[in-house]
């Protein structure tokens, strides 16, 4: 079964401003949660400049991989 059916990605931005207008670099929060329980499975603090690419890659794997494969691959990543 696709991981996209069991897991979801939540991206919380550090600021509402675009990255290039922020006075100092922010840190976005990215988490993977279980849909059924709402429990956070994976969590990262990502620099705002890298967050968009990070979330895009995570969502691509979410659609392509099985749940166990996704957790194995992304669980090894501590920070981008």
Q: Which pTM does this prediction carry?
A: 0.84
| Local confidence pLDDT in tens for the 80 residues of the chain | 678 789 999 999 888 877 777 778 889 999 999 999 999 999 999 998 899 999 999 999 999 999 999 999 999 887 66
What three-state secondary structure class fits 25?
A: coil
DSSP-based helix, strand, coil % in the chain, nearest 5? 40, 30, 30
């Amino acid at each position: 079964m696709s991981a996209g059916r069991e897991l979801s990605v939540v991206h919380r931005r550090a600021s509402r401003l675009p990255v290039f207008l922020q006075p100092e670099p922010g840190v976005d929060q990215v988490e993977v949660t279980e849909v059924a329980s709402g429990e956070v499975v994976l969590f990262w603090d990502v620099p705002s400049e890298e967050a968009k690419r990070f979330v895009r890659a995570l969502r691509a794997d979410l659609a392509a991989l099985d749940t166990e494969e996704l957790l194995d691959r992304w669980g090894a990543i501590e920070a981008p």
